[in-house]
């Protein structure tokens, strides 16, 4: 069954281009021209993934993320003409999984869509419960509990935590984590791992400034603490 992609952009030309290309690649495509239309479409269509522009009238991309991530963990890839790093970081911190800067290569866009969908499906196919240092992660149910308290994570935050918890004490480089998430380490994307780690820590750590669970390994990357001290 074809995966449904919701394409949200206020420019008709972009919507048409992306819809035609994704349709040729075998996806079912639904479109919306702003955040409000996107909320209605997402609630009705239950897309497998959302491609989201940031700068739109009525309701912009950031506000859409704030609202919709409270209702669903559908993966979101930002389509953005904004090139400043703080703008990209804000989108990732709000809950987006990745971003593609306009003008973009349709082939790269499809590659990123397939990578995100592949890792979501992989997690769903292999139910497994990981436990370490007071954290419980249920891969099948896509649930995380810290000290028995449920924690809501974005799909990317969940998959990063799952990768780290798969081998407590092992140091993962940023490229290692990108490969776990995307199947390929795309050049220049290492910065996104730092953003997701920072957001993850605000959700699971008692004090994010002094991480108890997700530790920084200077000069390497990150690891999940093997045992509580």
| 64/87 same-domain check | yes
Residues 105, 132 within the same domain: no
What are the residues facing 31 on neighbouring strands?
Answer: 7
Domain match, 114 and 177 both: no
- Asked whether residue 204 is assigned to any structural domain, the reply reads yes
Domain assignment of residue 47, given as a range: 4-121
- The mean pLDDT value of the chain amounts to 86
* The pLDDT value given to residue 4: 95
Task: For residues 168 and 219, state if they share a domain.
Answer: yes
The per-residue pLDDT for 185 is: 46
Of 93, 121, 149, the domain-final residue: 121
CA distance 55 to 163: 33
Which of 30, 83, 70 minimizes the C-alpha distance to 52? 30
Task: Tell me, yes or no, whether 68 and 140 share the same domain.
Answer: no
Rounded to 5 degrees, φ, ψ at 215 are: -100, 145
The CATH code of the domain that includes 200 is 1.10.10.10
* Per-residue pLDDT tens over the stretch 172-199: 998 888 877 765 445 556 778 898 999 9
Q: Are residues 143 and 84 in the same domain?
A: no
The answer on 134 and 41 residing in a single domain is no
The reply to whether 229 falls in a domain is no
Query: Does residue 178 belong to any structural domain of this protein?
Result: yes
Last residue of a domain, one of 75, 101, 121: 121
* Judgement on whether residues 37 and 64 belong to the same structural domain of the protein: yes
The answer to whether the CB of 158 falls within 8 A of the CB of 64 is no
What are the residues facing 28 on neighbouring strands?
A: 4
Q: Is the domain of 49 the same as that of 131?
A: no
Rounded average pLDDT over 88-100: 77
pLDDT at 90: 74
pLDDT for residue 104: 83
pTM greater than 0.75:
no
Whether the CB-CB separation of 81 and 60 falls below 8 Å is answered with no
Q: Are residues 58 and 145 in the same domain?
A: no
* Number of domains composing the chain: 2
Is residue 141 included in any domain, yes or no? yes
- Between 104 and 12, the more confident residue is 12
User: How much is the pLDDT for 88?
Assistant: 66
Query: Which of 194, 192, 214, 217 lies closest to 205 in space, CA to CA?
Result: 214
Q: In the predicted model, what is the mean pLDDT of residues 140-147?
A: 89
121, 151, 179 - which closes a domain? 121
Asked whether residue 192 is assigned to any structural domain, the reply reads yes
| Residue 82 domain-assigned (yes or no) | yes
What is the DSSP annotation of the chain? Answer: -PPEEEEE-S-HHHHHHHHHHHHHTT-EEEEESSHHHHHHHHHHH--SEEEEESS-SSS-HHHHHHHHTTT----EEEEE----HHHHHHHHHHT--EEEESS--HHHHHHHHHHHHHHHHHHHHS--EEEETTEEEETTTTEEEETTEEE---HHHHHHHHHHHTSTT--EEHHHHHHHHHSS--TT-HHHHHHHHHHHHHHH-SSTTS-SSEEEETTTEEEE-SS--
CATH number of the structural domain spanning residue 12: 3.40.50.2300
Domain identity same for 156 and 106: no
The position carrying tokens 């592949």 is 118
Residue with the bigger pLDDT between 92 and 49: it is 49
Could you report the per-residue pLDDT of 12-67, keeping only the tens digit for each? 999 999 999 999 999 999 999 999 999 999 999 999 999 998 888 888 888 999 89
pLDDT at 126: 56
CA 140 to each of CA 120, 123, 168: distance values in angstroms, whole numbers, following the listed order? 10, 7, 20
Whether 110 and 210 share a structural domain: no
């Amino acid at each position: 069954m074809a995966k449904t992609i919701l394409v949200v952009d206020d420019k008709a030309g972009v919507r048409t281009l992306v819809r035609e290309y994704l349709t040729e690649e075998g996806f079912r495509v639904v479109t919306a021209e702003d955040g409000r239309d996107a909320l209605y479409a997402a609630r009705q269509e239950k897309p497998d993934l959302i491609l989201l522009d940031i700068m739109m009238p009525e309701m912009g991309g950031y506000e859409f993320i704030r609202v919709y991530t409270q209702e669903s963990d559908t993966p979101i890839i930002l389509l953005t003409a904004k090139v400043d790093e703080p703008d990209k970081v804000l989108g990732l911190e709000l809950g987006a999984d990745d971003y593609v800067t306009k003008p973009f290569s349709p082939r790269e866009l499809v590659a990123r869509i397939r990578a995100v969908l592949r890792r979501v499906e992989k997690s769903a196919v292999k139910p497994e419960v990981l436990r370490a240092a007071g954290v419980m992660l249920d891969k099948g149910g896509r649930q995380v509990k810290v000290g028995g308290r449920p924690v809501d994570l974005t799909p990317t935050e969940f998959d990063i935590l799952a990768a780290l918890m798969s081998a407590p004490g092992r140091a993962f480089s940023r490229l290692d984590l990108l490969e776990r998430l995307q199947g390929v380490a795309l050049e220049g994307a290492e910065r996104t791992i730092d953003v997701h780690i920072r957001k993850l820590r605000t959700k699971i750590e008692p004090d994010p400034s002094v991480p108890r669970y997700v530790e920084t390994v200077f000069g390497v990357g990150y690891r999940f603490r093997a045992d509580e001290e």
